[in-house]
Amino acid sequence: MTNIVQVNLEAFGFRELDIASKLLAKVSEYGYPRDFSDAGISLAFNTHSGYVFLTNEDYQILMLEDDKLKIINEEEEAA
């Protein structure tokens, strides 16, 4: 069975790598948002939704939305 969330870059396609590079460039330029813990960060993407994001050991999600860094909460995803 294949994992839905991939952290292995081998599983990323060209589209996902492009999104990841934009996400990492934005973090490099502005840093992590104040409310996002920088402990245990991994780059990942969801193979079902196509979302590319950073996640940490607190299970927070950071992604680009309208070219801005946004922390996504579980409550927002469930809605």
* pLDDT of 76: 54
Category of 67 on φ-ψ map: left (φ > 0), alpha (ψ -120 to 50) or beta:
left
Rounded-to-integer distance, Cα 21 and Cα 29, Å: 12
The string over 48-73, giving b where at least 16 C-beta atoms fall within 10 Å of a residue's C-beta and e elsewhere, is eeebbbbbbeeebbbbbeeeebebee
Q: Kindly report the backbone phi and psi dihedral angles of residue 70, in degrees, each rounded to the nearest multiple of 5, phi listed first.
A: -140, 130
Please provide residue 57's backbone torsions phi and psi, each rounded to the nearest 5 degrees: -70, -10
Average the pLDDT over 52-76 and give the result: 90
- At residue 78, the pLDDT reads 45
Per-residue model confidence as pLDDT tens digits over 1-57: 568 787 888 889 999 999 999 999 999 999 999 999 999 999 999 999 999 999 999
